[in-house]
Structure 1
Amino acid sequence: MTQLSETVRIDTEPTEVGDVAVIVVDNPPVNALSSHVRQGLYDGLKKAADDGVAGIVIICEGRTFIAGADITEFGGGAQKAAGLNEVQALMEASPVPVVAAIHGTALGGGLEVALCAHYRVSVRGAKFGLPEVNLGLLPGAGGTQRLPRVVGVPKALDMMTSGRHIGVDEALEAGLVDQVVDNVVDGDLAALRSAAVAFAAKVVEEGRPLLKISDRDDKILAHRGDEKVFADFRASIARKTRGFLAPEYNIRCIEAAANLPFDEGMKVEGKLFLELMTGPQSAAQRYAFFAERAANKIPGIDKDTPLIDVKRAGVLGAGTMGGGIAMNFANAGIPVTIVDRDQPSLDRGLGVVRKNYERSAARGSIPADAVEQRMALITGSTDKAAFADCDVVIEAVFEDMELKKSVFRELDEICKPGALLATNTSALDVNEIAAVTSRPESVIGMHFFSPANVMKMLENVRGDRSSDTVVASTMAIGKKIGKVPVMVGVCRGFVGNRMLFARGAEADRMLLEGATPAQIDTVLYDFGFPMGPYSMSDLAGLDIGWKAETSTGSTIREVLCESGRRGQKNGRGYYTYDPETREATPDPEVVELIKQFAVGHGHEQREISDQEVLERLLYPMINEGAKILDEKIAIRGSDVDVVWVHGYGWPVYRGGPMYWADSVGLPEVVAKVREYGERLGGRHWELSPLLERVASEGGALHQYSN
């Protein structure tokens, strides 16, 4: 064995056709393509050629093949070392076969390395993908030019614009993998190594050609000059990728692969990669990537803090939220008990869960047999005593403090010692709820976002007496069930809804001043949000919490409800809706109702510019976010951004409200908050001392940490 760099070594394996060099990468945790890995690969390929071996195998230690680039080097932190393109050139030009032995994941730069091998051997459980689009990038080491030549244009378009990982069967069918090593578990690297060495020897023995993907064109010729396939694909993803640059740039590169010689296509890839790499969208998306990981770190919680072993979960309430929460646990293979007040309510809730799974199976999101497998993990009951053996119980009942306190008194009596008791409240005081139990240290907030089986955000709310074990366990549970967990403190609305309340108050005030629901919603939609507050209200239902017998017509929403408007459910809300397509149309009658209400309450009407609308919607959020940080409700500015990206649809290519405020310039934000505060008044325009201080010091809110 020869150590080539701190993370790469080279061994040899004797075979009947001669020695096969085995270049081993060992750069935990994911064998990223750090500078020392690239240099080690380069030196290993050179040494193998100098030693006159019969073949070369590239394999990785640990849990995965090369899982991508070292993102920490993207900002210019890379040490001087061989470039990836130099490593790839040596691989392709090798006079002996190079075989990539793949386990775990071959992603991004890792797959781009594997695509430069002459052959690829994989274990059954491996995954393959080019997910750079999720960082606002495109594969910049030939991936956009090689992948279409292997799997064809349609599959390359799908994989690269979605970042989707494909499994071995799909990779084998597409031609991405040459041999699957069956009957080998993913972690059995000795068996994979033996199989790859044997495959390399077989290639030599049979005189197989040294296949260079860059020379292939058989799978792209059919789409040369074919504008329709690209136009149709753009149309199919337009809604999902609205506002993002990277998907379109990936498509342009695949067009270049189909229409240009390889070297010319590489020039297109290089140019577009540089534009994205140096642009604001990728910077924001890379920031969001690291912010999500930073949110897992809770100051004062030791990494060795004991965790609650969750073998069974309980959910109180079989409604939309409770059913969605239960699905998260079943999806993770954790048995879950749902309890509701009566059998019809329980049956209705379980029926909705089943329909959700059946819909996912019909779309191909889950295997057909997963429906019954997951439903078998969900048990229903009308008796809270069924929670007695649960390790975590989450209540998802109506948002009423007295009701929740009553529930927690019962759970305190029923649940076993050490069980984690969580409330799904979106705004109420977790400390007040915990205080009615004999074990406030076991109580915490777990604020799921609706629909809970879809939305990634999990806003965990740490009570004053929540134990370290409960805090650490809640974060671990969130990750296990596929969420993006963030730990926050107790205040009305916590982080996300508290900022939303400020935005909503200002939106409603602008309606009274002359802005229309369509204008406000359009401004936010054009900024990158999936919808604005009034489209959202119509979707949820205007009559949630409204009762005709107690309605006083004191708000615009009450006036609309009194006029028979319920939102999408009856086709009339802030907008009117097509009964077939659900397409919204601004309603002049609603505009007139709002105007009459406003004038009747003494508000002058005027034209409000879109820029003012944007500032008055977003600057109160930023100001409130700074107050949240100042009060230590959020640990980091980046945590605030994670909540808003994953919980409220803030466009990730703008980083989050704190990051966006820094990009606008905090002095400008401060000046505008002062200006609007003097003109409009209101608590949400009272300037945050922290915002003022960070702006004066030239700091950044997204980097602020408590």
Structure 2
Amino acid sequence: MAGKVHFERDGEIAVLTIDNPPVNAGSHDIRKGLLAAIDKVEADGDLKGAVLIGAGRSFISGSDIREFDLPLGPPQMPQVIAAIEGASKPFVAALHGAALGGGYELALGCDARIAAPGTMVGLPETALGIIPGAGGTQKLPRLVGRAEAIRLIAGATRVSADKALALGMIDAVEDGDLRRAAVEKARAMAGTKRRVIDLDVPEGDDAEAAAERASRRARPHVLAAIHHVRQAGKVPAREGLDAERETFQKLRTAPEAKALRHIFFAEREAARGKPGRDAAPMPVDLFGVIGSGTMGAGIATAILQSGKSVVLIDSNADALAKGVERIEQAIDGGVKRGRMSAAAAQAAKKRLTVDSDLAALAPCDLVIEAVFEDQQVKEELFGKLDTILRPDAILATNTSYLDIDRMAAKTTRPERVIGLHFFSPAHIMKLLEIVRGAASSDVAMATGLSVARMLGKQPVEAANAFGFIGNRIYAAYRAACEFMLEDGALPHEVDAALESFGFAMGPFAVADLSGLDIAWHMRRQRAAERDPADRYVHIPDRLCEAGRFGRKTGAGYYRYGEDSKPQRDPEVEALITAASSEKGIARQSLSAEDIQRRALAAIVNEAACVVEEGVALRPGDVDVAMVNGYGFPRWVGGPIHWAQQQDAHALAADCARFAEEAGPTRRKGDLRVLGVDTGDHE
């Protein structure tokens, strides 16, 4: 059979090969081809069964989500699955690579499931703002119980073949010839059917407790998924399947699902880096990390957990010992959370070498410095490293703000210098900015992107500019929030408004958590460059002058007790009121809507500047950075996607207001570069 599904005979068994490279997404053509092939199997009296298998590197990795913005015409996946279940002959799914979403639902429609080692299966639809829509919420509970199904579906969890076998999600793992094993299974099942939908749901698990846990702070689509799983086996199968499909159809065209699809595609595009770059990354097996503080230890942990080796350097013996302790605790924490086995943890620890002498870095392929955030300190370090490392080794800085071109100028290899800006805690946070210097080669940048993927990070490429993408935009956002303190809001009001919008934490709670002294140090370093005409809020400086550095000192914008929960502090509120009075500002209360509008306008305005200047390669990269590194709500799609849904003229006015009140060095961005049409086509 021509097209996307190939029909072959293997004796009395038909082999239907799904062929839609690169990942066999379940497109309309695939569904149409499968339905025709299933009909052909059923009509052929000489055939006793069939095998479904994927060509290339995967079974079906999931539905083609590009179709979700379009009307879904027939045949849809439930029709294909119904044809398999209604057939008189057994169908065996032979899984390899990925069998996710609609791909795994197709496998659930078969009479048996055999997987190759390394296969990943699961129903991760909730990550895209939808629920399984082809029987997943009704069939998975029949194999694993309602409680486990809730955990897997609500968590959008991908499951390895070995774990899937232990849970009952598949029937066997085949180390040898997968196709041959599936054909033999179909032959052995000739004359029998084992439909998952006919099975009883196991009773006696902790489904209600699992539902309660998964429901905490869950989005509406996750709550819907939980509801349908809980209904499995309690309502007639047809009723459960129809209700699930109805919910799926409603959710797939909802704004939240569209936003999540946007960020999905934006992340995939960001991971490719600069368009047209075809340089191959250099292999990196041995990493060097300089600095064993919180950031250095976190970076080393991430590398060790990826299976690579690290040479950790710190000239301070006590600091080095504490760094090793941090690393071992983080790795042990991964074992406790089930992210790695005890054996893998031990192996990771053995891949760590420590030293106080930079000379120990000589054999490293790539070295990342994570020392004190000071331009001169880093420049001097790069000069030393240049004389120690191999000529082909790559030097990377973990700086958050500083000029990497000045660091590169201290070496004889500026083309092999890049920025690798991790976010704390580095072994957990997903975002990694890959910073391109003026001389950074394509090989160096390709290597940085490759390292990010190796570490399980979400890379975003940025040009060398103060604060790069994320910190520069966040600085504008924080400035707008500080303006609002002077204008009449209090820290808890700003934080509450932005958390209600969907931010993981408000800006002042974040400042207390990260430490107010860090930003204070940067402001003092750059004080001479500040234009006196710019609006400058002294409140955070005065908090630092009073020794209020945040949670680590028990006081910042908030006061912290033994439970570490932030409490309003009259001293801070008095300090804020006095600051307004000193500037002659008549304080006025701000509504949550006012706060949200002003804060988001600052983000969008600065994002437009970042894209205009080429610091970000594309608008979607801004969304990826803010969602993965700064707590912007994923279900909103990022600030640019949000901006595209707003009234363009009102948003432009808010952006202009922010730029004007910030002062002469804050320019108004051109929102058109973000795809926001303000009607201004000069």
Instruction: Please tell me the TM-score bracket, short chain as reference.
Output: over 0.9
Amino acid at match of 1:74: F
Counterparts of residues 346-357 of structure 1 (less than 5 Å): 346-357=320-331
Alpha-carbon distance between aligned partners in 2 of 1:164 and 1:562, rounded to the nearest angstrom = 47
Amino acid at match of 2:239: E
Closer, same or farther: CA 149–379 of 1 in aligned 2, 3 Å: same
Amino acid at match of 1:192: L
The offset of 1:388, in angstroms, is: 1.1
- Aligned counterpart in structure 2 of residue 660 of structure 1, from 642, 657, 673: 642
SS of 2:391's equivalent in the other structure is coil
Q: Is the 8 A contact 1:673 1:685 kept in 2?
A: no
Closer, same or farther: CA 300–570 of 1 in aligned 2, 3 Å: closer
The offset of 1:110, in angstroms, is: 0.7
The offset of 1:543, in angstroms, is: 4.0
Closer, same or farther: CA 258–77 of 1 in aligned 2, 3 Å: closer
Alpha-carbon distance between aligned partners in 2 of 1:30 and 1:570, rounded to the nearest angstrom = 51
Aligned partner of 1:27 in structure 2 is: 20
Aligned partner of 2:257 in structure 1 is: 282
The offset of 1:694, in angstroms, is: 5.8
Aligned partner of 1:540 in structure 2 is: 514
- Aligned counterpart in structure 2 of residue 253 of structure 1, from 228, 244, 247: 228
Matched, 1:456 2:437: no
The offset of 1:685, in angstroms, is: 6.0
Alpha-carbon distance between aligned partners in 2 of 1:556 and 1:292, rounded to the nearest angstrom = 37
Matched, 1:168 2:161: yes
Matched, 1:8 2:5: yes
- Aligned counterpart in structure 1 of residue 543 of structure 2, from 545, 560, 566: 560
Closer, same or farther: CA 179–440 of 1 in aligned 2, 3 Å: closer
Matched, 1:76 2:70: yes
Aligned partner of 2:55 in structure 1 is: 61
Aligned partner of 1:514 in structure 2 is: 488
Closer, same or farther: CA 24–629 of 1 in aligned 2, 3 Å: same
Closer, same or farther: CA 480–676 of 1 in aligned 2, 3 Å: closer
Q: Is the 8 A contact 2:611 2:673 kept in 1?
A: no
Counterparts of residues 631-646 of structure 1 (less than 5 Å): 631-646=613-628
The offset of 1:235, in angstroms, is: 3.8
Matched, 1:87 2:62: no
- Aligned counterpart in structure 2 of residue 313 of structure 1, from 287, 300, 309: 287
Give TM-score scaled by structure 1 length.
0.90
Closer, same or farther: CA 692–434 of 1 in aligned 2, 3 Å: closer
Matched, 1:196 2:182: yes
- Aligned counterpart in structure 1 of residue 337 of structure 2, from 363, 376, 387: 363
Superposed CA RMSD: 2.5
- Aligned counterpart in structure 1 of residue 313 of structure 2, from 326, 336, 339: 339
- Aligned counterpart in structure 2 of residue 682 of structure 1, from 644, 654, 663: 663
Counterparts of residues 33-48 of structure 1 (less than 5 Å): 33-48=26-41
Unpaired runs of 5+ residues, structure 2, are 528-535
Closer, same or farther: CA 118–422 of 1 in aligned 2, 3 Å: same
1:239-266 per-position Cα deviation (integer Å, ceiling 9, x unaligned): 5x54x22211111211232431111112
Aligned partner of 1:382 in structure 2 is: 356
Amino acid at match of 2:9: T
The offset of 1:515, in angstroms, is: 0.7
Aligned partner of 1:233 in structure 2 is: 210
Amino acid at match of 1:215: D
1:191-226 per-position Cα deviation (integer Å, ceiling 9, x unaligned): 11111111122223xx6x41122222242x558xxx
Aligned partner of 1:670 in structure 2 is: 652
Matched, 1:267 2:260: no
Closer, same or farther: CA 255–699 of 1 in aligned 2, 3 Å: farther
Aligned partner of 2:532 in structure 1 is: none
The offset of 1:69, in angstroms, is: 0.6
Aligned partner of 2:533 in structure 1 is: none
Alignment coverage as a number of residue pairs? 669
Same amino acid, percent of matched pairs: 38
Closer, same or farther: CA 38–523 of 1 in aligned 2, 3 Å: same
Amino acid at match of 2:610: I
Alpha-carbon distance between aligned partners in 2 of 1:154 and 1:5, rounded to the nearest angstrom = 43
Closer, same or farther: CA 261–590 of 1 in aligned 2, 3 Å: same
The offset of 1:555, in angstroms, is: 3.1
Give TM-score scaled by structure 2 length.
0.93
The offset of 1:618, in angstroms, is: 1.3
Alpha-carbon distance between aligned partners in 2 of 1:361 and 1:589, rounded to the nearest angstrom = 43
Amino acid at match of 1:256: Q
Alpha-carbon distance between aligned partners in 1 of 2:366 and 2:312, rounded to the nearest angstrom = 12
The offset of 1:596, in angstroms, is: 2.5
Closer, same or farther: CA 684–253 of 1 in aligned 2, 3 Å: farther
Amino acid at match of 2:306: A
SS of 1:5's equivalent in the other structure is coil
Matched, 1:649 2:643: no
Alpha-carbon distance between aligned partners in 1 of 2:456 and 2:641, rounded to the nearest angstrom = 25
Counterparts of residues 375-524 of structure 1 (less than 5 Å): 375-524=349-498
Alpha-carbon distance between aligned partners in 2 of 1:176 and 1:67, rounded to the nearest angstrom = 16
Q: Is the 8 A contact 2:146 2:201 kept in 1?
A: no
1:552-604 per-position Cα deviation (integer Å, ceiling 9, x unaligned): 99932343345453422343332233413x22222233212321333244333
The offset of 1:365, in angstroms, is: 2.1
Alpha-carbon distance between aligned partners in 2 of 1:577 and 1:540, rounded to the nearest angstrom = 14
Closer, same or farther: CA 278–683 of 1 in aligned 2, 3 Å: farther
Q: Is the 8 A contact 2:232 2:240 kept in 1?
A: yes
- Aligned counterpart in structure 1 of residue 43 of structure 2, from 36, 42, 50: 50
Alpha-carbon distance between aligned partners in 2 of 1:415 and 1:677, rounded to the nearest angstrom = 45
Unpaired runs of 5+ residues, structure 1, are 185-190, 701-706
Closer, same or farther: CA 562–445 of 1 in aligned 2, 3 Å: closer
Amino acid at match of 1:540: S
SS of 2:459's equivalent in the other structure is strand
Amino acid at match of 2:663: G
Amino acid at match of 2:576: I
The offset of 1:234, in angstroms, is: 4.5
Q: Is the 8 A contact 2:288 2:312 kept in 1?
A: yes
SS of 2:620's equivalent in the other structure is helix
Alpha-carbon distance between aligned partners in 1 of 2:420 and 2:558, rounded to the nearest angstrom = 33
Aligned partner of 2:560 in structure 1 is: 577
Alpha-carbon distance between aligned partners in 2 of 1:97 and 1:123, rounded to the nearest angstrom = 20
Aligned partner of 2:530 in structure 1 is: none
